[in-house]
Amino acid sequence: MSTDVQENATRSRRDVEKTNAPKKKVRRSRPPMSRGERVRLIIAHFCIYLAAALFLSPLVYAFFSALKPNGEMFAMPPRLVGSEIRWSNFADVFSYGPFVTYIGNSFFVAIAGTIVVLIVSTTAGYAFGRLRWKGRDAVFVLFLATLMVPQEVTVIPMFILMQWLGWVDTYQALILPFAFTAFGTFLMRQFFRGIPYELEEAARVDGAGPLRCFLQIILPLAKSAVAVLAVFTFMSFWNSYLWPLIVTVDYDSLGTLPVGLASFSGLTGTRWDLQMAAAIISMIPTTILVIALQKHLVKGISMAGLGGR
Domain regions of the chain by residue span:
99-309
Torsion of CA 27, 28, 31, 34, to 10 degrees: -40
Whether residue 1 is predicted with pLDDT greater than 50 in this model: the reply is no
Omega of the bond leading into 77 within 30 degrees of 0 (cis): yes
Burial of 288 (0-12, 13-18, 19+ CB in 10 A): exposed
Residue 110 is predicted with a pLDDT of 93
Q: What is the pLDDT of residues 51-68, one digit of tens each?
A: 989 988 888 888 988 888
Closest CA to 229 of 186, 193, 196, 178: 186
Q: How confident is the model at residue 112 (pLDDT cuts 50, 70, 90)?
A: very high
Closest CA to 173 of 155, 185, 147, 153: 155
Distance between CA atoms of residues 122 and 129, nearest Å: 10
Q: What is the pLDDT of residues 247-265, one digit of tens each?
A: 988 878 888 888 888 776 7
Distance between CA atoms of residues 189 and 181, nearest Å: 13
3-state secondary structure of 121: helix
Distance between CA atoms of residues 144 and 224, nearest Å: 22
Give the pLDDT mean for 11-23. Answer: 54
240/9: higher pLDDT: 240
For the whole prediction, is pTM greater than 0.85?
no
Whether residue 94 is predicted with pLDDT greater than 60 in this model: the reply is yes
- Match domain 99-309 to its CATH number in 3.10.129.10, 1.10.3720.10, 3.40.190.10, 3.40.630.30: 1.10.3720.10
Closest CA to 297 of 234, 211, 205: 234
For 16-25, 43-52, 73-82, 163-172, which range has the lowest pLDDT when averaged over its residues?
A: 16-25
**Helical packing angle, 257-268 and 272-292, nearest 10°:** 160
Distance between CA atoms of residues 227 and 297, nearest Å: 6
Distance between CA atoms of residues 121 and 90, nearest Å: 38
| Percent of the chain as helix, strand, coil, to the nearest 5 | 75, 0, 25
